[in-house]
Amino acid sequence: TAAGNRTVHRPANLAARAAMVLRDNDTGTLVTASPRLYPHMWSWDAAFISMGLAHLDVSRAVQELRTLFSAQWHDGMIPHIVFTGDDDYFPGPDRWGTDDAPQRPHNARTSGICQPPVHAIALRRIIDTARRTSEADAGIAEDFAREAWPALRRWHGWIARHRMSEACGLVTIVHGWESGMDNSPRWDAPYLAVQPDADLPPYVRLDTLKVDDPRQRPSDDEYDRYLWLIEQLRRAGYHPDKVVETSAFLVGDVFVTAVFALASETLADIGAELDAPASEIAELRSWAGRARDAARRSCHPETGMARDFDVHTGTWLDTESLAAFSPLLCGGLPTETEQRLFDTLDGPGWSGHPGLLAAVPPSVSPHSGDFDPRLYWRGPQWPVVIWLFGWAFEQRGWQRHASEFRAQGVHLASDGSFGEYYEPFTGEPLGSPNQSWTAAVVLDWLC
């Protein structure tokens, strides 16, 4: 059936297509983030992908996380990319130059930064899905949870040890890519201080050759800054403390902070179910508490919107992006502030904008001067982020909001193309088609 010139698939058909995308992108041990644009494993993609896989095959789902965790650095960091043999992506492992870092894993080539820590949330979702299917599946998921517990604790410990900023309490990032929201206007001001010099080795971008319209991707000027930061990380030998000392980009990220709080609490709950040592569970809950407090303190005193913090300039960043709603993920706000944030989220600047095809928040408010409906993290809607907020709402008992996000998310993706991101007014899929994490969250919404 067609609505306007947009094809709309029925739920059963949409779920079958989503499953097909995950199968097609599966190399056996990992599902690539997308077939052409991203032929490798990305850290937070792998988490979302694994919970989609759980609806098809629980053993295959845990294998996905096992592959990712086997590339964990010796210091605990989970790297943002695990490279396959394919070299059709830039920057690849040679450009990252991680082979000389003493903490790198020896069985995989990886990038040298991280991404939002959503992995414990994926594990929770896999366990819950498996428990609904069969006792055997529940056993597979729970055994894996025991196996993965030390890796996940070390990962959260790495963040707590190296990235919880004394300046603002937020979890800091040393590259916009660590936020997962690469070219968000959130980072425009901090990137001004990233000034590549003549030492930046030359390079050729491949991403712009693989999308229909390169204007849907970050600009060349932005790429120079991204590559310059990699140069700095490389020179710091990827040593976690030296990286924080030397990076020209050092920002407290309120979204990563809220995800860390939510994931730490979720991991603690899993630990309690598995009879993990009480001290380890308490430690996770204390990290969650610190992160939640920091997210609360970031809120603008009048609007209640949460903010990032530029550590180098000591300033709060008031950008109207979806990250401003991050405390709704982890809780910790006074009821009144929380209600105000919800009203803003439902209002005409966000999900309630009358022009939207699907009533879910875009990455940037259409009322903002930074809004661009076709440009990556500067306006389009991203199904994975919608999934994350919807799941958190459900955990917190906000059923109406949770089911609204699910229904509208499915509506957005019902054309069956599994776009990387969507033009919010027309629902046109943008970036890469058959993006694995989009297929995974749609499958989860439908099952």
The residue from 253, 310, 420, 423 that is catalytic is: 420
Whose Cβ is closer to ligand 9YW: residue 180's or residue 424's? 180
Find the helix packing angle between 278-297 and 135-163, rounded to 10°: 60
To the query of whether residue 220 is one of the catalytic residues in this protein, the response is no
Q: Given 64, 137, 182, 222, which residue is catalytic? A: 182
Buried b or exposed e, range 274-301, using 16+ CB within 10 angstroms: eebeeebbebbbebbebbbebbbebbee
If the CB atoms of residues 25 and 337 are measured against ligand 9YW, the closer one turns out to be 25
Q: CA separation (Å) from 177 to 44, 164, 302, 391?
A: 11, 18, 30, 23
Q: How far is the CB of 255 from ligand 9YW (least distance, A)?
A: 11
Examine the residue annotation and report whether 420 is marked as an active-site residue of this protein.
yes
Question: What is the binding site for ligand 9YW (CB under 6 A)?
Answer: 33, 38, 42, 44-45, 180, 182, 207
Helix axes 119-133, 58-69, angle to 10 degrees: 160
The least CB distance from residue 169 to ligand 9YW, in Å, is: 24
Structure tokens at 443: 């499958």
Nearest approach, Cβ of residue 30 and ligand 9YW (Å): 13
Q: Which residues of 75-107 are buried (b: 16+ CB within 10 A; e: fewer)?
A: bbbbbbbbbbeeeebebbbeebbbeebebbbee
Q: Which is nearer to ligand 9YW, 37 or 359 (CB)?
A: 37
* Nearer to ligand 9YW (CB atom), residue 253 or residue 338: 253
Integer Cα distance of 435 and 387 in angstroms: 15
Q: Least distance in Å: CB of 4 to ligand 9YW?
A: 28
> Going by C-beta distance under 8 Å and a sequence separation of 6 or more, which residues neighbour residue 316?
298, 300, 307, 308, 309, 310
Q: Please state the closest distance from residue 302 (CB atom) to ligand 9YW, in A.
A: 31
Nearer to ligand 9YW, 182 or 444 (CB): 182
State in angstroms the smallest separation of the CB of 207 from ligand 9YW: 6
Residue placing its CB nearer to ligand 9YW in the complex, 39 or 252:
39
The gap from C-alpha 321 to its chain's centroid, in whole angstroms, comes to 15
Residue positions counted in the chain: 447
Structure tokens that stand for 298 in this block: 């970031």
User: Which of the residues are catalytic?
Assistant: 182, 420
